[in-house]
A and B are shown apart, each in its own frame.
Chain A
Amino acid sequence: MIDKSITIEDLVEDYPFSVLYLSKKGIRCIACGEPIWGTLEEACIEKNFSKDDIDAVVKELNEMAKEQENK
């Protein structure tokens, strides 16, 4: 289960698909080959995402994770 307090490091490691997903939303999870520091929420706030936007991101990521599990 992904929540907004997950670190980018854990997100990238446990849910690799999230890198491409977040990249399309303007959030670069990997820089210089390493995950950026901080949480998903912090990364979203830096890109001026609202609370609703962040909730939507978390929801979509969880849906994608579920799809991956079912594959």
Chain B
Amino acid sequence: MAIDIKKVLKRFDISDVNMGVSTGQKWYDTKGAVTSSTSPVDGKEIATVKNATMEDYEMVMEKAQEAFKEWRLVPAPIRGEIVRQIGLELRKYKEDLGALVSYEMGKIFQEGMGEVQEMIDICDFAVGQSRLINGVSLQSERKYHRLFEQYQPLGIVGIVTSFNFPVAVWAWNTALAAIAGDVVIWKPSSKTPLTAIATQKIINDVLKENNVPEGVFNLIVAKSSVMGDNFLSDKRVPLLSVTGSSAVGKRVGGIVGKRLGKTILELGGNNAVIITPNADIPLAISSTVFGTVGTAGQRCTSTRRIIIHESIYDKVKDMLVNAYKKIAPKVGNPLDENFLVGPLIDKHSVAAFRNAVEQVEEEGGKVLIGGEIMEGEGFESGNYVMPCIAEAKNEFHIVQEETFAPIVYLIKYSGDVMNAIEIQNNVPQGLSSCIFTLDVREAELFTSVAGSDCGIANVNVGTSGAEIGGAFGGEKDTGGGRESGSDAWKVYMRRQTSTVNYGTELPLAQGIKFDF
């Protein structure tokens, strides 16, 4: 039974035309372009959004600057209390927001709810962290001196999110930035503005009830001509957190780097699963299929390559193809619980998928299953595809690229597991990786200094579906940023080293004499 999306839209008070600029306390009627949000599920326009103009951008920026002066003085645990309440509100709206994510973005409802759960989880994490923003106390070499480090808020944090996790990535950044004492300006993906507006509406009630200054939690729906390079080069924004492709990340890194600003870049991946002869193969298959077809292959951490030892290659290949045969009838409306794979975000992504299928064959690969665009009843939007498995070589040009769609390449390796690790690492990207093995030596090698070069290296756990507790991010063309758990909160703060002299004399460091 599919979810009634009209009821969901009503719950968020989303009308035909919506305002796209909010400062937390207020919504602003803007005069920018009116853009529409179209569902990949059925190809229908959901609603339209009034975008921001340059004047709106300036207005929000000024309010954010003012808000920061106040917000930074609010004790961190009190800031955490606001985030706690946001987490409680999100719990109330979990199903509705999950459904809207599903309808606007295309992931299945279960994953939509999972995305909201991630928002709740990071709020909970941030609440605890709000009492743990700690620094270290060090031993001074000088008598009657105290040496310590502390963390101070940065100011305005710019957050640019992508369509595939339209709200969770905002939450990862915002929950931590808020408890750190920063204020945020969120530019959501132009493909998913309504989930952003719904999220802002959920939090606005909390902000009003607690008299949070206007300008702490800001949303700006804008085209890149209004909020693009100017946002990146704006010195009022000390930190930019951007989720997107490596191409976008290189541009962001260049522009922000030029002014020596800080960035968190979460960019493309080319994630591999290694299956060794010592693997629990059924476990590897189940995990890998979720990694390849979950979210229709549109996660940064989706599995793109499966590197299989030659001794088990045919067996694993047959099991994967059989698993995909079971997936085939499960491609359909993501709001209907009978389906496991929803549509791609739009026809451009479908074209990219088809291009990859054709290119892998042109380069000498072999399609084993899938690769077609689905047709017929329920697939009228033209965005549904049958996930594809193809045999390929790691050096193929198409294999070296990230195709943001459900196509996975099977690659054979022989000999030692180091050969598989080498293949694994031999791509420009470095986000997520995993090995399936019950051999402790192989497992330890994979996570050792000689092992995976990715930000995420799992053992008997697939490449996708990270928990919020660990820092999330990757190396090389993935950008090097870390967000979410562990000590990622430090990126949202400036580190300060202080020395206090509580004596009556003035000894200089390194014993330098400077008498006059």
Chain A contact residues: helix, strand, loop or mixed: mixed
Minimum CB distance partner of A20 in chain B = B351
Does B248 lie at the interface of the complex (its beta carbon under 8 Å from any beta carbon of A)? Answer: yes
Minimum Cβ distance to chain B for residue A37 (Å):
5
Do B298 and A7 touch (CB < 8 A)? Answer: no
Q: Of residues 29 to 60 in A, which have CB atoms within 8 Å of B's CB atoms? A: 29-38
Contacts A7-B223, A10-B223 hold; do A31 and B351 have CB atoms under 8 A apart? no
**Count of chain A residues with a beta carbon within 8 Å of a chain B beta carbon:** 19
Q: Are B223 and A33 in contact (CB under 8 A)?
A: no
Choose one: A9, A19, A30, A36; the contact of B225 (CB below 8 Å): A9
Task: Establish whether residues B248 and A36, one from each chain, have CB atoms under 8 Å apart when the complex forms.
Answer: yes
Interface residue from A7, A20, A23, A31 paired with B247 (Cβ < 8 Å):
A31
Q: Are A34 and B355 in contact (CB under 8 A)?
A: no
CB < 8 Å neighbour of A9 from B223, B344, B349, B355: B223
Contact of A30 among B162, B223, B348 (CB under 8 A): B348
A38 touches B348 (CB 8 A): no
Find chain A residues with CB under 8 A from B190 CB: 9
B351–A32 touching, CB < 8 Å: no
Pick the contact of B224 from A9, A20, A33 — CB < 8 Å? A9
With contact pairs A10-B225, A37-B224 given, residues A32 and B268 touching in the complex (Cβ less than 8 Å) = yes
The answer to the question of B170 belonging to the interface, with a C-beta cut-off of 8 Å to chain A, is: no
Question: Smallest CB-CB separation from A32: which chain B residue?
Answer: B245
Asked whether A16 and B247 contact (CB < 8 A) given A9-B190, A34-B191, the answer is no
Interface residues of B in 389-435 (CB under 8 A from A): 402, 404
**Contacts A16-B347, A19-B348, A31-B268 hold; do A36 and B223 have CB atoms under 8 A apart?**
no
> Within residues 205 to 238 of chain B, which ones have a CB less than 8 A from any CB in chain A?
223-225, 228-229
Contacts of B346 in A (CB 8 A): 33
| Complex CA–CA separation, A35 to B345 (angstroms) | 12
Closest to A28 in B: B247
- Tell me, yes or no, whether A12 is within 8 Å of chain B by CB: yes
Please state if B245 and A7 are interface contacts (CB–CB under 8 Å): no
Task: Indicate whether B43 reaches chain A with its CB closer than 8 angstroms.
Answer: no
Residues in chain B near residue A38, CB distance under 8 A? 228-229, 251
Q: B352 at the A/B interface (Cβ < 8 Å)?
A: yes
A33/B349 contact (C-beta < 8 A), A9-B190, A9-B225, A38-B251 known = yes
Q: Is the interface of B mostly helix, strand, loop or mixed?
A: loop
* Interface contact B189-A23, CB-CB below 8 Å: no
Complex contacts, B22 vs chain A, CB 8 Å: none
Residues of chain B contacted by A35 (CB below 8 angstroms): 224
Say whether B347 contacts A7, CB under 8 Å: no
The verdict on B246 contacting chain A, using a C-beta distance below 8 Å, is yes
Q: Which of B163, B229, B247, B252 contacts A33 (CB 8 A)?
A: B163
Across the two chains, which residue of chain B brings its CB closest to A46?
B247
Q: In the complex, A35 Cα to B224 Cα: how many Å?
A: 10
The smallest beta-carbon distance between B110 and chain A, in angstroms, is 20
Q: Which residues of A contact B163 (CB under 8 A)?
A: 33-34
Q: Is the CB–CB distance between A37 and B164 below 8 Å?
A: no
Report the count of interface residues on B (CB-CB < 8 A): 33
If A19-B351, A38-B251 touch, does A32 touch B223 (CB 8 Å cutoff)?
Answer: no
Flag whether B244 is at the interface (Cβ < 8 A).
yes
On whether the beta carbons of A36 and B348 are closer than 8 Å, the reply is: no
Measured CA separation A50–B112 after assembly (Å)? 46
Shortest distance between the CB of A55 and any CB in chain B (Å): 22
Do B228 and A32 have beta carbons less than 8 Å apart?
no
Contact between B351 and A33, CB atoms less than 8 A apart: no
Compute how far the CA of A36 lies from the CA of B164 in the bound complex, rounded to whole angstroms.
15
Evaluate contact between A32 and B244: CB separation under 8 angstroms.
Answer: yes
Q: How far is the CA of A16 from the CA of B402 in the complex (A)?
A: 21
Q: List, in ascending order, chain B residues with CB within 8 A of A30's CB.
A: 348-349, 352
Taking a contact as CB atoms closer than 8 A, the residue among B228, B268, B345, B355 that contacts A37 in the complex is B228
Complex CA gap A29/B349 in Å reads 11
**List of A residues within 8 angstroms of B247 by Cβ:** 28, 31, 36
Within 8 Å CB of B162, what residues of A? 32-34
A18 CB to nearest B CB, Å? 10
Closest residue of chain A to B346 (Cβ to Cβ) is A33
Cα distance A32–B164 when bound, in Å? 9
Per a CB cutoff under 8 Å, which of A7, A19, A29, A34 touches B228?
Answer: A7
A32: chain B residues at CB < 8 Å are 162, 164, 244-245, 248, 267-268, 300, 402, 404
Residues in A lying within 8 Å of B, measured CB to CB: 7, 9-10, 12, 16, 19-20, 23, 28-38
20 examples of A-B residue contacts, CB within 8 angstroms: A7-B224, A7-B225, A7-B228, A28-B247, A30-B349, A31-B404, A32-B248, A32-B267, A32-B300, A33-B191, A33-B345, A33-B348, A33-B404, A34-B189, A34-B191, A35-B224, A37-B228, A37-B248, A38-B228, A38-B251
Contacts A7-B225, A31-B268, A32-B268 known; 13 new A-B pairs at CB < 8 A: A7-B224, A9-B190, A9-B224, A10-B225, A23-B355, A28-B247, A29-B348, A32-B164, A33-B162, A33-B163, A34-B189, A34-B245, A37-B224
